[in-house]
Structures are given as structure tokens and as C-alpha cells.
Chain A
Amino acid sequence: MATPRFTVTDALDRLNERPQPRPRIAVHKFSSCDGCQLAFINAGEALLQLAELVDIVHFAEAGPMDPEAAVDLAFVEGSISTPEEAERIQTVRANTRFLVSIGACATSGGLQALRNFNADGAAGWTEAVYAQPEFIHSLDTATPVAEHVKVDLELWGCPVNARQVFQALRQLLFGVAPVVDRDKLCVECKRQQHVCVLVAKGEPCMGPVTHTGCGALCPAFGRDCYACFGPAENPNTAALARRFEGLGLLPEAVARRFHLINSHAPAFRIEWLDWQERS
């Protein structure tokens, strides 16, 4: 469905019905690089300001520890990749009024979702990587949070942008649904007035199918976007892939463009499969 989801009605009502004026928030970590939590930890002054607006009851990396506490708002980083995580995410959901998944790992499985495409499952890899594979408990897949529990708001990106997170948080504190902008990166790239690297250099830029949010960083550095924010709304991946082929990429290289950080996201998965078969 291409229609933007602006309304998060039930969960928002639950959030707005919280008894205490200061919301209680938690930041949970699943399989991830910790980079998305840094949106908070790197926020500097804003982090201290936040601590005055809300009670941060659980945020292991920043210190507060109470993983099982009931909260109003839970931020979840990371994908679900072990049996323990599959259970823990249920507890997190049960304990929060509103759940926001942050980052590519949580919204699409992230980079580690590449394991989902391994023919012999993750087990095969465990054997290859570990001396004692029997010590490793891992699922065959790394999947987005929304494949396990109901998610009320998804913030994409690897990593999420701090501005994105704080704007969403501010809107939730106002009691309204955050704006989720799923426009293509090109829209922002042009606002920033970068010279298009696809047109001017023939680079296989993923911008035309990628969700905006980063501020068009890669084109700002004169390089092609590698889609760390995942698919935009209404992405015409097929037309872009054909264009990449026209730029001289082999089918296998075209396939890889869609098979990196958000490989598990349906729009990219389909395109990867298609070009994988051609190569």
C-alpha cells in the first residue's frame, strides 16, 4: 500500500490516556550495532532536556535499567534474530502503550537480514564462523519487529536521524501522530541542490527509490545513495534497475544494489530476486 500511514489511532489514544503527566519511556536493544540508540546518546543538550520532559526508565547503554517496566513509549532498536529475542519483544510490546521501531534493523531486519537469503540458513554460517557452533543460539532469520508484534510507528534509516527521532517524540508528547515522510530521497537531494550523481556521473544512485530522512548525505558527498533508509513509497525499482543496467552494471551488480541494508524489505527483495535470476 502506498498510502502514507499518518494515523496511529488506537495506540495514540492509549498513549494520551496515560495517567501520569510525565511519560515513561524505554529504549530497548535487539540485534543491532547500537547506532540508532546513539540518536539519543549523541543528542547532547537535547538528551538532558529530554530527561526533564520524560522519565527514562530503561535504556541500558545510557544507564537506566528496568527492562520489564511498564512504560508509555518504547523505542526498539534491532532485529529479531534469536529465540530469546523473539520472546523478549513480546514482553516489550505487552509493557508499552506505544511502540516505535527505530532503524533499518528494527524496520526491515537491517544488514543482518542478509542471512535470510542464505540457502542453508544461518546454521550453515554459524558452522563456518564459529569453532563451536553448538554454543550459538540463533534463528535462521533476522526479521523486523513488525513481523513479531504490532508496531505503532516505524522510523527508518541506518542509522535513524536524530532529528527524525526527536521530531517524532515531540509530536507524540503533543499527543498527535508524528509526520512520516516517505518521499523519495531525490526530493530532498534537489532541495539541498546537490548535483545529481546519476545524471552527471552515471553513478547507480538508489535515491529515486529510497526513503528520505538522511538529508541526502551521499549525493552531498558526490556519491550514490546506497539506500540505507529503505524503500520510499511507490518505488519503481524495476525502472531504476533497468537504468542501472543501462549504466553498464551487470545483472549481478544490479541485484546487489537492492541487497544490502534493507534486503528484506519487500520492494527491494523482489527486485533482488529478479536480477539475481538473470545473473
Chain B
Amino acid sequence: MQSTALFLPRSSLDALIQALRACGYERVLGPVARDGAITLQALDSASDLPVGVRDRQEPGQYRLGHGEGERCFAWANGPQALKPLTFAPRETLWRCERDAEGGLVFRDAGERNVPTAVIGVRACDLAALKIQERHFLKAPYPDPRYAARRESLFLVAVHCSHPASTCFCASTGDGPRAETGFDLALSELDDGFVVTSGTERGAAVVERLELDRASPAQTAEADAEIEAAARQQVRALPSRNLRDALYARLEHPHWDQVGRRCLSCGNCTAVCPTCFCHAEQDEPALDGSRTDHLRQWDSCFTAVHSYMGHFLVREETRLRYRQWLTHKLASWHDQYDRSGCVGCGRCIAWCPVGIDITAEVEALLEPTDA
């Protein structure tokens, strides 16, 4: 659905938050500058937003600073996308109680999902969400917890106008414009926002605000900013489908080279909005009468990920890095008909030693004598 573009004056941002609450979204999350980064937090009002805050991102480095003006979305993505909201970092899958005769009763963990609206979702985040939905909701075993959490979200996208040096969504085709998957989408201009709705429920929210149509000049300015954002990106992946190229280079010497730099700390997989690996674990009560069965984020960079009792499939760091990169950029095509990378650049910025996926791919594609 493609709606008419409306204009939300900056002063009405609070009204949008109110309208979301009025439509039953008990929790409204939005970007807040905290602990030196822009993270999603509960918003009381628009004044919690990062007004005038700018970011600078480089491999292994993220810094906030102050810029000019009133804009509150003039930064690229923060350390996490929507992933923690849909694929919980740690959750109880089920509980089991054991009675005196040893009988086992399995129960639902009974977690309730609060209807939540999220303001400030980026195009790359939406693209990643769609990929994760495909993973967690695929037949024949859709995950009901994921489904319920996804169901509880109302998404307000903001088209990107200020990409970071680490962004390369233009090359993956996932941004900077949010094309689908949102309920509402905003383009931030100096004095307000061009608003379009992507769903009926999105339209229902804006209806409450009684907004005027955006002028052609306003929509043109918004489009121009998004296009400029695409042009500003300095990083890129050389192709949207690197499957065959990477499969042909499984024994490339560069894997050793990156293996010496990589900490195998799993930060890249944790910030990646599409990575889905997790591990399960029991946490029994001391008296043994009941136990919680947990699932938590795992990473292909951990030892347990490939643990097979008598050996690890991937003992060495280079093999763990290769698993990650070839899964992300190659086997994902086999699994989900597209690459697992949406160009958000988080793995570059949040890698403690600044390993850059685009640079590693480039090095791998270079011809070698080996």
C-alpha cells in the first residue's frame, strides 16, 4: 500500500507518540542517546529523542557528538536493530516441573508481549526483520514466540539521510529508503516530517493527527536527501550475490590472515540484525523440583557452536570467521534466496578490532597465486 504523503510538523512529534499510545501501543520505543550510543529506549515524550546528536562510525569505533539544528534522526543506525525485540537475547522457552513420582509436566513460560511501537526503524533493519521472519516463521516449525513478538510490533521507519562511513546498504539494495515492512515511514526535514503509511493500521494512527498533505517541495526535498544518502556511502559489497565466488575460495590464504586479527568474540554476530544462532540450556532450581529451559543468543564464533563431543568442527578462529562470512554472504542465498547481509555496517563499527566485512571480501576476491 502506498499512501499519500502527509506532513507532520516537528512540534507534533509528541502528538504522534500520544496517538500511538491511544491506539493501544503501551510501550513506545525510540532512539535515545545513552552510554555514548543511540539505543532504543522507552520514550516518555519527544524530548527524549537525540536532538542535534550526530554519530561518527569507523571500523571498531563509534562516537556521538553534537551538530547543528533540531533534527533528531540525523545519525545512522545504533548498536542494535530490531533483533532483540523479536529474537530475545535470552528467554525461557518452557518450564518443567517434576512431581514426587518423577512425572514431568511441561509448561509454557507464559511471557506476555506488550504491544510496542518503535520509532526510528531504518531500511536495513526492516530488510533484516524480513529475513529473520523467513527463518523463524518458516514451515513446518514456525516459532510461536517469535511470531507473537513480531505481531506485537508497530514500526515507524525513518528513511536514512545521514549514513555512517560504515554503511553500505545501497550496495546490498536494502536502503537507505525504507520500501516496505513498516506501518509508518518518516522523512525528517528541518521543520518536520514527511509521513507515509505502509499499512492500514499505520494509516489509522496518522488519521488521528489530522495532518496536511506534504507539499511537492517537501516530498522532493525528502527524496533528494535519501538519494544523497545513497551517494554518500563510501563502502560497498562488490556484488549482491557472492555465493559462487566465496564457495570457490574456501581455501584462500586470506582466511588465515583475518583469523590472526579476529578475536572470535562474537560481537559481529550479536549486532548483526539477521544472525539467528542460539543455544539452549536448562536452569534447574536447587531443590530439583522444577527447571527452566532457556534459549540464548549464541554465535558461530563460540566453541560450543560446533562442539561434537570428541572434537570441534571449527576449532580455529579462521574457520569460525569463514563459517560466518560464507554463511552470511554465500549459503544464505541457498537458504533464503538472498544474502544475509543488509549493509547496516554494524559488524564493522562494533568489531572491537575493526574488521571490515567489505574489505575482507575485497581481499578474498583478489586473485592469488595460491
Point out residues on A near B: beta carbons under 8 Å: 2-4, 6, 46, 49-50, 52-53, 166-167, 169-171, 173-174, 179, 181-184, 186-187, 190-196, 198-202, 205, 207-209, 222, 233-236, 238-240, 242-243
User: 18 extra interchain contacts, Cβ-Cβ under 8 A, other than A46-B286, A186-B352, A239-B353?
Assistant: A4-B307, A6-B307, A49-B286, A170-B285, A170-B286, A170-B288, A182-B303, A183-B303, A190-B266, A198-B352, A199-B60, A208-B267, A209-B263, A236-B260, A236-B263, A239-B261, A239-B262, A243-B60
Contacting pair A191 B284 (CB below 8 A)? no
Contacting pair A201 B283 (CB below 8 A)? no
| B interface residues, how many (CB within 8 angstroms) | 50
Interface presence of B337 (CB below 8 A): no
Q: In the complex, how many angstroms separate the beta carbon of A2 from the nearest chain B beta carbon?
A: 6
Neighbouring A residues of B271 by C-beta, 8 Å: 190
A-B pairs, 4 with minimum CB distance:
A190-B270, A191-B89, A208-B265, A200-B36
Q: In the complex, how many angstroms separate the beta carbon of B235 from the nearest chain A beta carbon?
A: 17
Q: In the complex, how many angstroms separate the beta carbon of B128 from the nearest chain A beta carbon?
A: 16
- B314-370, CB < 8 A from A: 315, 317, 349-353
Neighbouring A residues of B64 by C-beta, 8 Å: 200
Interface presence of B302 (CB below 8 A): yes
Assembly CA distance A229 to B218 (angstroms): 56
Q: Closest residue to A207 on the B side, CB-wise?
A: B265
Neighbouring A residues of B353 by C-beta, 8 Å: 208, 239-240, 242-243
Partner of B35, one of A6, A173, A222: A222
Assembly CA distance A242 to B262 (angstroms): 12
Contacting pair B286 A50 (CB below 8 A)? yes
Contact with A along B29-50 (1 / 0, CB 8 A): 0000011110100000000000
Assembly CA distance A196 to B267 (angstroms): 9
Contacting pair B37 A200 (CB below 8 A)? yes
Contact with A along B54-86 (1 / 0, CB 8 A): 000000111110000000000000011000100
Contact with A along B291-311 (1 / 0, CB 8 A): 000001111001110010101
Contacting pair B350 A196 (CB below 8 A)? yes
Interface presence of B287 (CB below 8 A): yes
Interface presence of B3 (CB below 8 A): no
Interface presence of B90 (CB below 8 A): yes
Partner of B36, one of A2, A171, A195, A236: A195
Contact A184 to B264, CB < 8 A, known contacts A174-B288, A199-B62: yes
Neighbouring B residues of A193 by C-beta, 8 Å: 39, 80, 84, 89
Assembly CA distance A198 to B350 (angstroms): 9
- In terms of DSSP, what is the predominant structure of the interface of chain A? helix
Q: In the complex, how many angstroms separate the beta carbon of B320 from the nearest chain A beta carbon?
A: 8
Interface presence of B281 (CB below 8 A): yes
Contacting pair B286 A53 (CB below 8 A)? yes
Neighbouring B residues of A191 by C-beta, 8 Å: 89-90, 270, 296-297
Assembly CA distance A166 to B285 (angstroms): 9
Q: Closest residue to A184 on the B side, CB-wise?
A: B265
Contacting pair B352 A243 (CB below 8 A)? yes
Assembly CA distance A201 to B271 (angstroms): 17
Neighbouring B residues of A179 by C-beta, 8 Å: 281
Q: Closest residue to A163 on the B side, CB-wise?
A: B283
Which of A4, A53, A187, A242 has the most chain B CB within a 10 Å cutoff? A187
Interface presence of B250 (CB below 8 A): no
Neighbouring A residues of B270 by C-beta, 8 Å: 186-187, 190-191
Q: Closest residue to A187 on the B side, CB-wise?
A: B266
Neighbouring A residues of B80 by C-beta, 8 Å: 193
Assembly CA distance A173 to B143 (angstroms): 33
Assembly CA distance A209 to B283 (angstroms): 25
Contacting pair B37 A195 (CB below 8 A)? yes
Contacting pair B265 A186 (CB below 8 A)? yes
Partner of A53, one of B287, B296, B312: B287
Q: In the complex, how many angstroms separate the beta carbon of A97 from the nearest chain B beta carbon?
A: 20
Neighbouring B residues of A166 by C-beta, 8 Å: 286
Which of B35, B89, B264 has the most chain A CB within a 10 Å cutoff? B264
Assembly CA distance A195 to B266 (angstroms): 15
Neighbouring A residues of B89 by C-beta, 8 Å: 190-193
Assembly CA distance A177 to B266 (angstroms): 26
Partner of B352, one of A169, A173, A205, A234: A205
Assembly CA distance A46 to B89 (angstroms): 27
Contact A196 to B286, CB < 8 A, known contacts A3-B312, A186-B266, A190-B267: no
Q: In the complex, how many angstroms separate the beta carbon of A182 from the nearest chain B beta carbon?
A: 7
